[in-house]
Amino acid sequence: MLAQQADRVMALGEWEERWQEDRIGFHQPHVHKMLESHIDKVLAGRTGVRFFFPLCGKAVDMKWLADMGHSVVGVEISEKAIKQFFEDNNMTYSEEPVPALPGAKVFKGSERNISLYQSDLYNFSSTIEGHFGVIWDRGSLVAINPRDREKYAALIISLMAKDCRYLLDTMLYNPELHKGPPFLVPDDQVNSLFGKSCDVELLESFDSLTDRQRGWGLDYLDERVHLITPKSI
């Protein structure tokens, strides 16, 4: 199933173009229902948790969590997406260079504890912002080039605190009908990417086919939500 998309590559510039041209059908104007449904399991009784959003876009989930008192760090290649996040939420922000990431900038919210890095995700590391108690991956693993998945998984694992809870949203569909992104990520690959150092639990699976995906030619789309936690040493 993976062979059809194995060589598919999208350059960072193509993602920036999508934002510039407002071709962002992947953006959701509301908090993701799977995050809402499983927030108690993700928090596990913790307060003031540090959340990481890889390829964050302008996800409204970030403000929702910050309003609860959590802190949010995101990484996104599109400066437009980051600025739109703050503007859409009527939040003021500062903009600073990041000495440890040449060419990158960090945008920090003034009213909420939100820091969004405009950077190539693979240049980011725990030396920049430490480790995180939760990672929410909606539209990130499914968006990166399939050949980069092992590199991506290594980065995510390196950002996990010992008590981290990594909520991962994946998709199953017929890859002969859609070249991606979003890309197909089967459960067995989730396990092969993360299972050696983490426990992987499938929390939920549901039909998320809409007219948008039917327009791609798909006849089914299963969305799957996994909870991934570091194994106890």
DSSP the chain: --GGGTT----HHHHHHHHHTT--TT--SS--HHHHHHHHHHHTT-SSPEEEEET-TT-THHHHHHHTT-EEEEEES-HHHHHHHHHHTT--EEEEE-TTSTT-EEEEESSS-EEEEES-GGG--HHHH--EEEEEEESSTTTS-GGGHHHHHHHHHHTEEEEEEEEEEEEE--TTS---SSPP--HHHHHHHHTTTEEEEEEEEEE---HHHHHTT-S--EEEEEEEEEPP-
Task: For the chain, give the percent of residues with pLDDT over 90.
Answer: 83
pLDDT, position 29: 78
Q: Mean pLDDT across the stretch 201-229? A: 94
| pLDDT (average), residues 187-192 | 98
Greater pLDDT, 117 or 232? 117
Q: What is the pLDDT of residue 224?
A: 97
- Inform me whether the pLDDT recorded for 126 exceeds 70: yes
